[in-house]
Chains A and B, each alone.
Chain A
Amino acid sequence: MLEQAVIYTFVALVLIGGILAAFSRQILYVIIGLGISLLGLAGLFLNLGSPFVAAMQVLIYIGGITVAIVFAMMLSIAMSIRPPDPNPQKLGFAIACAVIFFGAVAHLIRGAQFQQIASPASEKAWSVGALGHALLTHYNVVFEALSLVLLLAIIGAILIARRALPKENS
């Protein structure tokens, strides 16, 4: 009973955060909504018996990305200007994208054959050795692809920063 309540609390957090992120006009609330939603997701991971994924979710998405967005936003004028009026064309496009994405994901999940497996003992599954082994064997391609994406992001950031410099000097 109590466990059900905990799960539904996290689901509610995800939904409330998502709604706040999608429908808020003030950019700070959008970021807070995103943070709440991601926190709820971390709670769900924890409930599914993956404390490591939950901790990583909090570390990367809340401690890293949300804080980085806050950081970027507070150095810009985005916080002090009035939010622009809703644009019906953009709104329609966004709704279409969301519906297509939701439909595709729902379709995939409905079609998938999930196997019920006994969750491995937490002590073994999340040891440093097991994690390192998994990252460098089974998830090797994903791991490398992610590093590549991060490298591209860094190069992009450097490019943007370089282009801005000469303007300031002149």
Chain B
Amino acid sequence: MKTDIVQLFENPYLALGVSIAIIMAYLSVNAIMLIWLERKLSARIQRRIGPQRGPFGLMQQIFDMGKLLSKELLTPEHANKLLYVIAPILVFAPVVALSSLFPITSTYIFHDFNIAIVLILAISGINVIGIFLAGWGSNNKYALLGAVRSVAQNISYEIPLILSVIPIVMITRTMSLYDITLAQETYPFILVQPIALIIFIISATAETNRAPFDIPEAESELVAGFHTEYSGMRFGLFFFAEYSNMIFACALATVLFLGGWRGPLLPDAVWFFIKVYALIVLMMWFRWTFPRLRFDQLMKFAWVVLVPLSLINLLITTLVLKIV
């Protein structure tokens, strides 16, 4: 049977604090390890060695963290101070809130929301505003251009993302992530909804602003896009947000399509993380394999290919569910 961690505490606010502390600790360590993994993988793909300090180059990340933490926090002269400071927090905070929703094991979960999917779709839209404020508040034309591109991209890819999640809700008739995992007892939904999974992964890659959809921060055109003017740990927060968003998107794909914690022999949590990190390696593989799209190609791909495809998929799912 499942136990809500939140209900183990008498005081709900204490439960909230403990949950946030656990999630923050995990996300920070996770981001550091993912940056290491990304650098090692990209090195392997480009026939380089990659970071080498310490065993397997692991110490490199510790040094980088120290560097980021000790750097001066520069604020551009004519920047909008308040927006400039708030923006990185606004980009990172939604992911922290959303990470509490995932059922990592069959026994212990933070809290089982019966409208988890609506919550996820709702709160993950907030970081677009953060990105826009970052670009606008920086008072830099490259940052503003990056923000403009990011908002356009996020709006466009959110539609196929939502449309690819709906078939799962229609099959399971529930929006709780725990119940969706339970519903995949006999087979994971990748077998019945392969198109939805592909649309989901593509849209999620676009939502996290990663290559080949990284035109909001295309370094050859825009210096660093919306975070051009950020330094030190404020820049670090954007970095954390990107890798936490990856974890979040891959965890959602795991729960919706790959059967969540389900798997033979190994404990629940191990299976969950094996699936999540396999998807993350896939996303990193994308980044170092595909070239960056041009902006019009990107928009066209979303509106002309992905949206109709996901609508057709939705229609077919409806018909099949009606007939069966």
Contact surface of A with B, Cβ cutoff 8 Å: 2, 28, 32, 35, 51-52, 55-56, 58-59, 62-64, 66-68, 70-71, 74-75, 79, 122-123, 126-129
Contact = CB atoms under 8 A, between A and B. Distances in A.
A106 B255 CA distance: 46
Contacts of A128: 169, 173-175
Q: Closest 8 CB pairs between A and B?
A: A63-B125, A59-B122, A58-B122, A55-B118, A55-B122, A55-B119, A52-B115, A128-B173
Given A59-B121, A74-B132, 17 more contacts: A2-B13, A56-B118, A56-B122, A58-B122, A63-B121, A63-B124, A64-B125, A66-B129, A67-B125, A67-B128, A70-B129, A71-B152, A74-B147, A74-B148, A126-B114, A127-B174, A128-B175
B126 interface: yes
A129 B124 CA distance: 25
Given A55-B115, A55-B118, A70 B125 contact: no
Interface in B141-192: 144, 147-148, 151-152, 154-155, 158, 169, 173-175
Nearest to A123: B114
Nearest to A128: B173
A129 B173 contact: yes
Contacts of A67: 125, 128-129, 132, 151, 154-155
A19 to B, nearest CB: 16
B285 interface: no
Contacts of A127: 114, 174
Nearest to A39: B126
Interface size bracket, B side: 20 to 34
Contacts of A75: 148
Nearest to A64: B125
B282 interface: no
Interface string B1-32: 00000000000010000000000000000000
A62 B132 contact: no
A66 B90 CA distance: 15
Interface of B: 13, 83, 113-115, 118-119, 121-126, 128-129, 132-133, 136, 144, 147-148, 151-152, 154-155, 158, 169, 173-175
Contacts of A2: 13
Nearest to B136: A28
A58 to B, nearest CB: 4
30 contacts: A32-B133, A51-B115, A52-B118, A55-B115, A55-B118, A55-B119, A58-B122, A59-B118, A59-B122, A62-B125, A62-B126, A63-B122, A63-B126, A63-B128, A67-B129, A67-B154, A67-B155, A68-B155, A70-B151, A71-B151, A74-B132, A74-B144, A74-B147, A75-B148, A79-B136, A126-B114, A127-B114, A127-B174, A128-B169, A128-B175
A59 B174 CA distance: 18
Nearest to A79: B136
Contact of A58 (B123, B148, B152, B158): B123
Contacts of A35: 129
A58 B169 contact: no
Nearest to B11: A2
Contacts of A62: 122, 125-126, 129
